């Protein structure tokens, strides 16, 4: 991927290993609250990723990692769920890859470790089959809850479980 130069709110430039809407031209987010990115990632092979790679005929690379096709990322300085939180939404380009992401502990770690390291309160994994999203703690642990399940009948109920962002 060619590097992508992004101007952040406040005017600070940063270079990212992504494209934005499949382009690599500079992106100015200095006056906006949303940044759309896209990329392809490699993950350390676990059982779920090995099975995926074998099924696709590619197998893990020489480095033991499995390349997974396009992942889309939307960064919002103000979450659509709760205005007191920013959000980073990542989703796979296909339903099959979404199901892989839900099955693979290694993939969950790639996405949940930054959430945990930055004080994130919640991660949701879409299984790509129309089922409710799995609620996952920022440490990667699936808590056997779903957004749309008994404890969290909707996303609003999930958000009420988050700590007050002002504290």
What's the confidence (pLDDT) of residue 159?
87
pLDDT tens per residue across all 167 residues of the chain? 678 999 988 899 999 989 998 999 999 998 888 999 998 888 999 999 999 888 887 778 889 899 887 888 889 888 888 888 888 888 888 888 888 887 888 888 888 888 888 888 888 777 777 777 777 777 667 677 788 888 888 888 888 888 877 76
Structure tokens that stand for 72 in this block: 């889309």
Contact between 39 and 18 under an 8 Å Cβ cutoff? The reply is yes
Q: Which residue has the tokens 């940063």?
A: 14
Q: How far apart are CA 63 and CA 3, in angstroms?
A: 22
What's the confidence (pLDDT) of residue 14?
94
b or e along 17-45 (b: 16 or more beta carbons within 10 Å of the residue's beta carbon)? ebbbeeeeeebebeeeeebbbbeebebeb
Instruction: Could you list the beta-strand ranges (E) of 93-147.
Output: 123-125, 133-136, 142-147
């Amino acid at each position: 991927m060619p590097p992508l130069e992004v101007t952040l709110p406040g005017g600070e430039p940063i270079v990212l290993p992504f494209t934005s809407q499949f382009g690599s031209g500079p992106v100015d987010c200095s006056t906006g609250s949303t940044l759309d990115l896209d990329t392809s990632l490699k993950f350390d092979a676990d059982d779920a990723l090995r099975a995926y790679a074998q099924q696709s005929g590619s197998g893990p690379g020489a480095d033991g990692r499995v390349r997974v096709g396009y992942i889309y990322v939307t960064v919002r300085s103000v979450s659509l769920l709760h205005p007191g939180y920013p959000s980073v939404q990542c989703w796979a380009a296909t339903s099959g890859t979404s199901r892989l992401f839900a099955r693979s502990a290694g993939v969950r770690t790639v996405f949940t470790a930054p959430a945990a390291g930055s004080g994130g309160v919640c991660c949701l994994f879409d299984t790509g089959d129309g089922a409710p999203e799995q609620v996952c703690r920022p440490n990667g642990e699936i808590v056997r809850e779903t957004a749309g399940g008994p404890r969290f009948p909707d996303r609003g109920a999930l958000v009420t479980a988050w700590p007050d962002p002002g504290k």
